[in-house]
Structure 1
Amino acid sequence: MLELVFATNNAHKLEEVQQVVGDRFKIRSLADINCQDDIPETGDTFEENAKQKTDYLVNKYGLYSFGDDSGLEVEALDNAPGVYSARYSGSRDMEKNIDLVLESLGDNPNRKARFRTVISLFLNEQQHFFDGTIEGYIIEERRGEGGFGYDPIFIPDGYDKTFAEMSANEKNQISHRAIAVRKLADFLND
């Protein structure tokens, strides 16, 4: 069984990825390899940040690895928060980040948004990228108790509930990360 290190300690992300790939691959976290380092994310794009993570693991540990960078892009905010989604308000407090998105949008009728994920995989001395996008819109107030991040204010197109109102299984069928992870899994299976 192929083992890959996912450059994260985010339990939610790890769980999402493992659910999508099932038991075909063993996914290990940073904690599993005793990596407590704060891996840099200084790029201006999702691709750059994802690649920084895999490069870091390859250079320091020599392990096959993949990393992702994800974020919310709101059309009326010039695609902000984008790569700064986790620290949009200047902190990693998601409640403050959500508040800032809602405050910045105000009563703007254009609520179009998308979640994007880019995964960088380093395998057999080669770098590969896989992306996933889910289109939707931002609602005016939080709904739901599940999910994480901006899930309580994002409704995907074709649905009437936020990601935070969906079960983990329901979200994992359509999420941006699931789309990118399925592309990664398909590539690995080939």
Structure 2
Amino acid sequence: MSGALGRVVVATHNAHKVAELQRILAEDLPGVVLEAYEGPEAVEDGVTFAENALIKAREAFEETGVPAIADDSGIAVDALDGAPGIFSARYAGTRDDRDNLELLLTNMQGVADRGAAFVCAAAYVDGERELVELGVWRGSVLEAAAGEGGFGYDPIFQPDDAPVSAAELTAEQKDALSHRRRAFRALAATLAAPAVSQG
């Protein structure tokens, strides 16, 4: 799918992610037209970010017949052995961002090692190819939320390469640094590369 990519379905019901990917891919894949996915949610029963991203992309492609991209992302905390990891969105059992964030803060009370990483697996499926790339954004867990921007765990994540929480960055600043940016930039580079002749 090199050259003009045309239509691509974004396999998520998360409007924040759709908007973020539209901004990110507009630069890396000019001309791509992202479409929201209205189909059923895939059962994310993989054990890694990469497996779950591919599950979602496959489901969207099978439902629509249109090439699909998806991501699976979350926060992996060193002191919690990588938790909440792939369970980040449903960590508190309510699928509410604030509940998840507060539970993580509670579980990190008194913990000296605050190291963490946002991780994103970006997947692409078009019936012929299945691609997946990983992006990692290192930082630490703050002791209290800071900032009103972003979503998810952004208010309690302090990136190593920024002086403020992810929620205090502008959308443009976050787009330039984030795990999702890194994963989708790598995926875009693969998609934009000329096909290699087998003959």
Common fold, TM-score beyond 0.5?
A: yes
What are the equivalent positions in structure 2 for 1:10-159 lying under 5 Å apart? 10-22=14-26, 23-31=30-38, 35=39, 37-123=40-126, 125-159=128-162
What secondary structure does 2:52 align onto? helix
Normalization by structure 1: what TM-score? 0.93
Q: Deviations over 1:148-171 (max 9, x none)?
A: 000000010032200100100000
CA deviation after TM superposition for structure 1 residue 103, in Å: 0.8
Q: What does residue 166 of structure 1 align with?
A: 169
The percentage of aligned residue pairs carrying the same residue is: 38
What secondary structure does 2:134 align onto? strand
| Aligned counterparts of 1:59 and 1:30: Cα–Cα separation in 2 | 12
| Aligned counterparts of 1:42 and 1:80: Cα–Cα separation in 2 | 16
CA deviation after TM superposition for structure 1 residue 124, in Å: 5.3
Check conservation: 2:10, 2:35, Cα contact below 8 A: yes
CA deviation after TM superposition for structure 1 residue 188, in Å: 2.1
Q: Deviations over 1:25-51 (max 9, x none)?
A: 1111113xxx2x122112111111111
Match of 1:97, as an amino acid?
N
Q: Which runs of 4+ in 1 moved over 6 A?
A: none
Q: What does residue 3 of structure 1 align with?
A: 7
Q: Deviations over 1:85-120 (max 9, x none)?
A: 000011101111111111111111100000000011
What secondary structure does 2:176 align onto? helix
Quote the RMSD (CA, aligned, Å): 1.2
- Count of residues in correspondence between the two structures: 186
Match of 1:74, as an amino acid?
V
Match of 1:3, as an amino acid?
R
What secondary structure does 2:143 align onto? coil
Match of 2:33, as an amino acid?
K
| Aligned counterparts of 1:160 and 1:173: Cα–Cα separation in 2 | 14
